[in-house]
Homo-oligomer: A and B are copies of this chain.
Amino acid sequence: MKAQALHGHLDALLLAVLEQGELHGYAVIEALRARSAGQLDLPTGTIYPALRRLERAGHVASSWSTVNGRERRTYRLTDSGRASLAGERAGWREFSATVGRFLDPAGPPATPA
């Protein structure tokens, strides 16, 4: 999968995985890899800054804990994050329908408003 294709949709993916329960950063990476059947294998340099961005935006909150001597920062969705995810989902549907109209062979030429 081409890497830069994700542009602008990563935040939505992160919110979506956190919707099912709180996770720490490393676990987010594994969740993405598992739920995408290996398609999404994102480096830590992508995930950690993105989670910090979401936290600055108020869409997730984090707390530290120590498990087996390893420091973990666990993230959970906030109400704001849940609302944002709903918007991202709507945006995704609109976006994929629009682009699909050009790129999917079965797409009709235009759906009248």
Contacts and interface: CB of A to CB of B under 8 A. Distances in A.
Nearest to A87: B2
Contact of A36 (B8, B34, B92, B101): B101
Interface residues of A, number: 40
Copies in the complex: 2
Given A4-B7, A8-B5, A35 B109 contact: yes
Interface string A36-47: 111110000000
A13 B105 CA distance: 13
A68 B111 CA distance: 33
A112 interface: yes
B35 A102 contact: yes
B99 A9 contact: yes
A50 to B, nearest CB: 14
B7 A102 contact: no
Contacts of A12: 99, 102-103
B8 A91 contact: no
A59 to B, nearest CB: 15
B113 A37 contact: yes
